[in-house]
């Protein structure tokens, strides 16, 4: 591990279903929703989806926060469905009537450390 840098877990580049997550003991209880507007840098660690549910994206931001982002089929998953796990990204969140949502994600590169 590098001094002052935290290694983060990057899962397989696929969309996990609930059964696979349970079978592999993938725990996401440390992740929270982002309630702040703005642009944040982070690493896409994991993608998951339940039957007919939203695509759930799990990020670790450079400030150490672990964030879950929900994206929906009717919004074309905010362009995130085909983003490779392990991508370092800038994520822009905007406030709407029902909360703060992901407006766009920009891939900066691929890495396993922040």
Domain 15-110 grouped into CATH 3.40.50.300? no
CA atoms of 94 and 77, how far apart (whole Å):
16
Nearest-angstrom CA–CA distance, 4 and 15: 31
The tens place of each residue's pLDDT in the chain, 114 residues long, gives 445 556 788 999 999 999 999 999 999 999 999 999 999 999 999 999 988 889 999 999 999 999 999 999 888 888 899 999 999 999 999 999 999 999 999 999 986 544
**pTM to 2 decimal places:** 0.89
In angstroms, the first-to-last Cα distance of the chain is: 11
């Amino acid at each position: 591990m590098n001094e002052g840098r935290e290694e983060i877990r990057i899962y397989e580049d696929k969309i996990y279903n609930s059964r696979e997550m349970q079978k592999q003991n993938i725990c996401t209880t440390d992740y929270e929703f982002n309630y702040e507007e703005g642009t944040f840098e982070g690493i896409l660690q994991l993608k998951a989806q339940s039957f007919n549910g939203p695509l759930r994206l799990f990020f670790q931001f450079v400030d150490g926060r672990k964030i879950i982002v929900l994206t929906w089929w009717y919004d074309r998953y905010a362009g995130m469905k085909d983003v490779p796990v392990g991508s370092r990204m800038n994520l822009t969140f905007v406030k709407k009537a029902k909360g703060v949502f992901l407006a766009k994600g920009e891939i900066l590169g691929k890495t396993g450390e922040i």
